[in-house]
Amino acid sequence: MATTAELQVKDKIFIGGEWVEPGGSETIEVINSTSEEVMGSIPACTSEDADRAVRAAREAFDSWSQTSREERAGYLNAIAAGLGERSEEIAATISQELGMPLTLSQIIQAGLPTGQFAAMPNLMEEVAWEEEIGNSRVLREPAGVLGAITPWNYPLNQIAAKVAPALAAGCTVVLKPSEVVPLNAFILAEVIEAAGLPAGVFNMVTGTGPVVGEAIAGHPGVDMVSFTGSTRAGRRVSELASATVKPVAMELGGKSPNVILDDADFSKAIPDGVGKCYLNSGQTCSALTRMLVPREKLAEAEELAKAAAESFTPGDPFEESTRLGPLVSEVQRERVRGYIEKGEAEGAKLVTGGAAPPEGLERGYFVRPTVFSDVTPEMTIAQEEIFGPVLAIQPYEDEDDAVRIANDTVYGLAGGVWSSDQDRAVSVAKRMRTGQIEINGGAWNPLAPFGGYKQSGHGRENGRYAIEELLQVKSLQL
């Protein structure tokens, strides 16, 4: 793990194809989530730095937007190869910054973003760039300069989910990575520089959301914003973007229901559901944090969930036995503990876990894997996104009641349905107002569209849908 002797001090930002000095001298410390020690620092940039980046992206757009798809594909392949070469470094860096167990980081935090770039050349061939409709030729063209504002929980993957399709579409990019887990973004910028991407096509400015993020969202030189983060911050981005009437794609919070129907195999469904709640220590916007079970099977569900939760051993992400790393920060740890205390105060049944730190892990931002039961829809822990390893089991009376409870939040990002009858599970899934639903634990598909209903946002990422999101439509009447 990083010690004070191995500080990663990043003192430049990437604008116009070069590493340049930021306008100010302020910095932001990066904290190792397991040791609570400073592991690095990044520039706390200003709105003037964001303006410089936008101007560079603006200047590069005219030529980049006219490049051939083959040329753009070549750069995307080179970036994918560069990320692949540095995958061990990426995984280790993110495990230190964020706390995800290293074995998972290698697959998810390093593997997925590499795959995002690698998939784009083939996906570009699936887009209808031109089509004839009557006497019209309909063209799909790049939206322009994309402002990409990304979160800390899957930091490099969420960057790749915006930057890769933007480059494929012919857009230029100004990226503001999360200031909480930022060091991995510098690796991507170095890879992009080595790939020889034309100057100004990709620019990176670090800093806080209220300063750099707001400067990008409101900038008249930015044609479109893609934001991933909290619903509260998403509202602010929308508000700022509206001043220049620019489109915004956003993927926000979630409180996703996992409906276990009465004919499901509980011995499979319950442990799988606990795992889907606890991935990345629960710091997953699409985590299945609400488990809906038939009231008559509540005791069975509690017993299975307790056993599954207690198998998630908290510990150092670099230890092979660890199944649950720390949370990302002290702020996040206190927030999650507060929700656990509120769950108990509002009368939910604590099945396992609790607000006290795990035994022997007083240092590091650790929270016990926690399960509540008898959670009613009006309870805070049933309505608000906790972003920690906290599962709420909600009993229901019948199928209609399950659907009602499933849809009874402001969110609609993900979900799950379990049944021994797949057609029945699909029928229930069709009634759920949410963007993607696992049927009987169906595997994550990185090419399928990802995004939400209601206050979970709008727009879609992943696969060809990600490219199409960043295209404008023009019709030529011939």
Collapsing DSSP to helix, strand or coil, 444 comes out as coil
**DSSP helix/strand/coil, 16:** coil
Q: Does domain 257-446 have CATH number 3.40.309.10?
A: yes
The reply to whether CATH 3.40.140.10 applies to domain 4-252+455-477 is no
Helices vs. strands in the chain: H and E counts, helices first: 16, 21
Longest dimension (CA), the chain: 73
Q: Determine which one of 285, 302, 385, 469 is catalytic.
A: 285
Q: Which two tokens stand for residue 264?
A: 């499901």
Angstrom distance (rounded) from CA 339 to CA 355: 9
Q: Residue 439 class from Cβ within 10 Å (0-12 exposed, 13-18 middle, 19+ buried)? A: middle
Distance CA 48, CA 261 (A): 55
pLDDT tens for the chain, 478 residues long, are 443 447 999 999 999 999 999 999 999 999 999 999 999 999 999 999 999 999 999 999 999 999 999 999 999 999 999 999 999 999 999 999 999 999 999 999 999 999 999 999 999 999 999 999 999 999 999 999 999 999 999 999 999 999 999 999 999 999 999 999 999 999 999 999 999 999 999 999 999 999 999 999 999 999 999 999 999 999 999 999 999 999 999 999 999 999 999 999 999 999 999 999 999 999 999 999 999 999 999 999 999 999 999 999 999 999 999 999 999 999 999 999 999 999 999 999 999 999 999 999 989 999 999 999 999 999 999 999 999 999 999 999 999 999 999 999 999 999 999 999 999 999 999 999 999 999 999 999 999 999 999 999 999 999 999 999 999 999 999 9
Q: Which residue has the tokens 């999360």?
A: 178
423 contact partners, CB below 8 Å, separation of at least 6: none
Query: Which of 52, 268, 10 is CA-nearest to residue 174?
Result: 52
The pLDDT value recorded for residue 5 is: 46
CB 400 within 8 A of CB 381: no
Name the helix (H) or strand (E) containing 89.
Answer: helix 87-97
Residue 360, class by beta-carbon neighbours within 10 Å (0-12 exposed, 13-18 middle, 19+ buried)?
A: exposed
DSSP 314: B
Catalytic residue among 97, 214, 251, 438: 251
What is the side-by-side order of every strand in the sheet holding 136-142?
A: 130-133, 136-142, 471-477
CB 116 within 8 A of CB 446: yes
Q: Compute the distance between CA of residue 388 and CA of residue 370 in angstroms, rounded to an integer.
A: 9
CB-based contacts of 470: which residues, under 8 Å, 6+ apart?
Answer: 142, 143, 146, 165, 166, 169, 171, 224, 226, 249
Q: Where are the chain's structural domains?
A: 4-252+455-477, 257-446
- DSSP secondary structure string, 375-437? --TTSHHHHS---SSEEEEEEESSHHHHHHHHT-SS--SEEEEE-SSHHHHHHHHHTS-SSEE
Catalytic residue check, 251: yes
Q: Mark whether 285 is an active-site residue.
A: yes
